[in-house]
Structure 1
Amino acid sequence: MRIVTATVAALAFAAMAVPAATLAPPRSPVTDGVWRTDGYGTLLVLGQGGLRQYQTTSVSCIEGDSARQTGPGSYTTSDGTVLTVRTGRDDDHARIAEDGSVGHRELTRIRTLPDDCGRPAPKDPRAGFDALWQTFEENYPFFGRKGVDWHAVRDRYRPQVHRNTTGPELFGIFSRMLKPLYDVHVTVEDGERDFFEVRPGTEPPSEELDDRAKRFIEARDLKDATHRQDFAEGHITYADLRDDLGYLRISAFDHFAGDDAPYTAHRTELDRALDTVLTPSRTRRLKGLIIDLRVNDGGYDALGIRTAGRLTDTPYTAYAKRVRNDPADHTRHTRPEPVPVVPADAPRYTGPIAVLTGGSTVSAGETFTQALFDRTGRTVRIGRPTQGVFSDPLTRSLPGDMFFTLPNEEYLTRTGRTFDGTGIPPDLTEPVFTEEEFAKNRDSAFDRAVAVLRAPG
Structure 2
Amino acid sequence: MLLLLTLLFALFQGATSAHPIFDENGALDPRAQGVWYSREKGWILEIDERGVTRWQDTQAGCYASPAPDESTPMMGQVEYRLFRPSRNGQSIRLNYLPGDASAHFERLDALPQACGAEDLSSETAVFDVFTSVMASHYSFFQARGVNWDALVARARPQVHDGMGQAALWDVLAGLLEPLGDSHTKMVGLVNGEPRRAQAGLGTTLPMIREGMGEGAWLNGLVDQLFNDVLDPGAELIADRVIVGEITPDSGAPIGYIQIFTMGGFTHEHTPGTIEWSQAELAALSDMLDDALTRFADDQAIILDLSNNRGGYDAVTRAIAARFTDETFLGYRVSVPGAPEADQDYVITPYDGVRYTGPVYVMTSDVTVSGGEITTLMLRQRPNVILVGGTTRGAFSTPLAKPLPNGWYLELSNEVFEDSEGHVFEGRGIPPVLAFDIYPEDAPVAGHKAAIERVVAMIEAG
Greater displacement, 408-417 / 443-452:
443-452
**Which aligned pairs between 1:286-297 and structure 2 lie closer than 5 A?**
286-297=298-309
- Could you say which residue in structure 2 is the equivalent of 1:196? 198
Q: Determine which of 232, 245, 258 is the counterpart of 2:254.
A: 245
1:348 aligns with 2:349: no
Change in Cα spacing, 1:171 to 1:101, as seen in structure 2 (3 Å) is farther
* Distance (Å, rounded) in 2 between the aligned partners of 1:79 and 1:160: 32
Residue deviations 1:199-238, cap 9 Å, x none? 553426955543333233333322xx1330111x210110
Q: Where does residue 429 of structure 1 map in the other structure?
A: 434
State how far apart, in whole Å, the 2-side matches of 1:208 and 1:314 are.
41
Structure 1 alignment gaps of length 5 or more: 1-22, 68-76, 327-332
Contact 2:93-2:104 at 8 Å conserved across structures: yes
Deviation at 1:317, TM superposition (A): 1.2
Q: Which residue of 2 aligns with 1:301?
A: 313
Counterpart for residue 72 of structure 2: none
The 5 Å alignment of 1:66-215 reads 83-99=81-97, 102-119=100-117, 121-191=119-189, 192-203=194-205, 206-215=214-223
In structure 1, what is the equivalent of residue 236 of structure 2? Answer: 230
CA distance in 1, matches of 2:81, 2:423: 28
Q: Helix, strand or coil: the match of 1:116? A: coil
Deviation track 1:53-105 (CA, whole Å, cap 9, x = no partner) reads: 212112122222799xxxxxxxxx99777631111343112211222874321
Structure 1 residues 108-139: Cα deviation after superposition (integer angstroms, max 9, x where no partner):
11211111223364211111011110001001
Q: Which residue of 1 aligns with 2:291?
A: 277
Q: Residues 440 and 248 (structure 1 numbering): CA distance in 2 closer, same or farther, change over 3 Å?
A: closer
C-alpha distance 176-335 of structure 1, shift in aligned 2 (>3 A): closer
- Partners of 2:298 and 2:179 in 1: CA distance: 43
Contact 2:254/2:301, CA 8 A, preserved across alignment: yes
Correspondence for 1:363 among 364, 369, 394: 369
Q: Secondary structure at the match of 1:419?
A: coil
Which amino acid in the other structure matches residue 398 of structure 1?
L
In the alignment, is the contact (CA less than 8 A) between 1:321 and 1:336 conserved in 2? Answer: yes
Once the two structures are overlaid, the 10-residue window that deviates more, 393-402 or 134-143, is: 393-402
Alignment equivalent of 1:257, drawn from 266, 279, 282: 266
Structure 1 pair 248/25, CA: closer, same or farther in 2 (3 Å)? closer
**In 2: Cα distance, 1:254 partner to 1:46 partner:** 30
The one-letter amino acid of 2:363's match is T
* Counterpart-to-counterpart distance in 1, 2:224 and 2:37: 50
5+ unaligned residues in a row in structure 2: which ranges? 1-23, 69-74, 209-213
Q: Which amino acid aligns with 2:41?
A: Y
In structure 2, C-alpha distance between the alignment counterparts of 1:235 and 1:226, rounded to whole Å: 19
Q: Which one-letter code corresponds to 2:282 in the other structure? A: T
Aligned residues: 413
State the alpha-carbon separation in 2 of the partners of residues 184 and 120 from structure 1: 32
Q: CA–CA distance in 2 between the matches of 1:434 and 1:371?
A: 27
Paired with 1:335 and 1:122, the residues of 2 have a C-alpha distance of 29
2:14 aligned partner: none
Distance change (3 Å), C-alpha of 1:177 and 1:54: same
1:8 alignment partner in structure 2: none
Q: Distance in 1 between matches of 2:442 and 2:26?
A: 62
2:342 equivalent among 330, 336, 342: 336
Q: How far, CA to CA, are the matches of 1:207 and 1:263 in structure 2?
A: 28
Which residue identity lines up with residue 289 of structure 2 in the other structure? D
Deviation at 1:346? 2.2
- C-alpha contact (below 8 Å) 1:324/1:334 kept by paired residues: no
**Which of the pair has the greater relative contact order for Cα pairs under 8 Å at 6+ separation?**
1
Any idea what the Cα deviations from partners look like across 1:359-410, whole Å, max 9, x if unmatched?
A: 00111111111121233x5101111111100001011112334111101001
SS at match of 1:435: coil
- The 10-residue stretch of structure 1 (299-308 or 29-38) with the greater mean CA deviation from structure 2: 29-38
Q: Secondary structure at the match of 1:356?
A: strand
- Give the aligned residue type for 1:370: L
TM-score by length of 1: 0.84
Structure 2 contact 202–392 (Cα < 8 Å) conserved: no
Query: Given the alignment, which residue of 266, 278, 282 partners 1:268?
Result: 282
How far 1:155 sits from its partner (Å)? Answer: 1.0
> Cα gap change, 1:80/1:159 in structure 2, threshold over 3 Å: closer, same or farther?
closer
3-state DSSP of counterpart to 1:287: coil
Moved more, 261-270 or 51-60: 261-270
**SS of equivalent residue, structure 2 residue 317:** helix
1:299-356 deviation per Cα after TM superposition (whole angstroms, max 9, x unaligned): 1111110111122222211100111336xxxxxx556321011222321111110000
For residues 140-190 of structure 1, give each alpha carbon's deviation from its aligned partner in whole angstroms, at most 9, with x where no partner exists: 111111111111111111111111021111111111111000000111112
* Structure 2 counterpart SS, 1:445: helix
Equivalent residues of 2:83, 2:93 under 8 A apart:
yes
Q: Confirm or deny: 8 A CA contact 1:199 1:421 kept in the other structure.
A: no
- Conserved 8 A contact 1:210-1:295: no
1:401-424 C-alpha deviation (Å, 9 max, x unpaired): 411110100111112111011111
Q: Contact 2:40–2:341 (CA<8 Å) still a contact in 1?
A: no
Match of 2:61, as an amino acid?
Answer: S
Task: Please report the RMSD computed on the Cα atoms of aligned residues, expressed in angstroms.
Answer: 2.6
Q: Distance in 2 between matches of 1:310 and 1:440?
A: 30
Query: 1:51 and 1:370, CA in 2 relative to 1: closer, same or farther beyond 3 A?
Result: same
- For residue 55 of structure 1, what is the aligned residue in structure 2? 56
Normalising by structure 2, we get a TM-score of: 0.83
CA distance in 2, matches of 1:123, 1:133: 14
**For 1:453, which of 440, 452, 458 is the aligned residue?**
458
Does structure 1 conserve the Cα–Cα contact (< 8 Å) formed by 2:80 and 2:94?
Answer: no
Identity rate of aligned residues, in percent?
27
Counterpart of 1:271, as a letter, is S
